[in-house]
Amino acid sequence: MNNIIQFENVSKSFGDLKVLNKLNLEVKDGEKLALIGPSGSGKTTILRILMTLETIDDGFVSVNGEYLWHEKNNGKIIPASENHLHKMRDHIGMVFQQFNLFPHLTAIENVEQPQILIKKRSKPEAKDKAEELFNLIGLNDKKDHYPHELSGGQQQRVAIARALAMEPKIMLFDEVTSALDPELVDEVLTVLRKLASDTDTTMLTVTHEMNFAREFADRVLFFDAGQIVESGKPENIFANPEKRRTKEFLKKFINNVN
């Protein structure tokens, strides 16, 4: 299987703070990945670099066999142009912690507008696609509501539908349930589980829901200080972590939860 995402010696700093230090990471096409780790370890930064919301200082990121932040020009490798980034963004979709639905549009318009503007679909095509996705997220009866008329969990499900409508090869989920009241977490995770089992979309999920990570992921990555400390199948990472830092993190985590 090919690597759909590859980080090679990627470094990233914010001022004096080195968030990623020569990070190497490979993700296979169709893989479902869970990123776990302490706060500030750089998990969000990795997703934001992939979504082109954050630049890199050094190294190379490849997506779908092409450089993301660079392009080839007459055999030379130069920083990516806006055109190149635009083309590459087509492969990637992202769901944010704060939903970021467009508040001036109804739920279904949120899902239709990007299809019409970016995918150049006709209005009926966009509507069909949106309705299919509202079925998937179980929100058919709320599709004409405005975001502020929906609960957090419902808004997040619409945000997932909006990203899915663009049919990206790679979906990024950044703590998509952390802003939700506990009783609303499950309805969103259910959608993610369904996606994981029904589609071959590559999924990268940053999460603090360890039980979810365990069932959802093919592979779990434990991050600390911008480095991958340990990576492996969920059953191994959660049951028999090899590294001390992973053990400590999981122990603290499980103690906090229970």
Ligand X SMILES: Nc1ncnc2c1ncn2[C@@H]1O[C@H](COP(=O)(O)OP(=O)(O)OP(=O)(O)O)[C@@H](O)[C@H]1O
d(CA 218, CA 215): 8
Nearer to Mg ion, 46 or 111 (CB): 46
Give burial (CB, 10 Å; 0-12/13-18/19+) of 126.
Answer: buried
- State the nearest-atom distance from the C-beta of 91 to ligand X, in Å: 21
Letters for 89-108 (x = contact with other proteins by CB under 8 A, - = none) are xx-xxx-x-x-xxxxx----
Strands 32-36 and 219-224: parallel
List 20, 33, 36, 44, residue binding Mg ion (CB under 5 A) = 44
CA distances from 52 to 63, 87, 91, 165, 242 (A): 11, 11, 12, 19, 33
If binding means CB under 6 A, how many residues of this protein chain bind ligand X?
Answer: 10
- State the nearest-atom distance from the C-beta of 70 to other proteins, in Å: 19
State yes or no: residue 157 binds other proteins (CB under 8 A): no
The listed partner (ligand X, Mg ion, other proteins, none) that binds 104, CB under 5 to 8 Å by sort, is other proteins
State yes or no: residue 129 binds other proteins (CB under 8 A): no
List 44, 52, 155, 156, residue binding ligand X (CB under 6 A) = 44
Single-letter code of the amino acid located at 7: F
Nearer to other proteins, 13 or 97 (CB): 97
d(CA 255, CA 247): 12
Apex 76 CA angle, 70 and 79, nearest 5: 25
Stretch of 37-45, 107-115, 130-138, 250-258 contacting ligand X, by CB under 6 A: 37-45
Q: What is the dihedral of CA 139, 119, 48, 186, to 10 degrees?
A: 10
Positions in the binding site for other proteins (CB under 8 A): 51-53, 86, 89-90, 92-94, 96, 98, 100-104, 113-114, 117-118, 162-163, 166
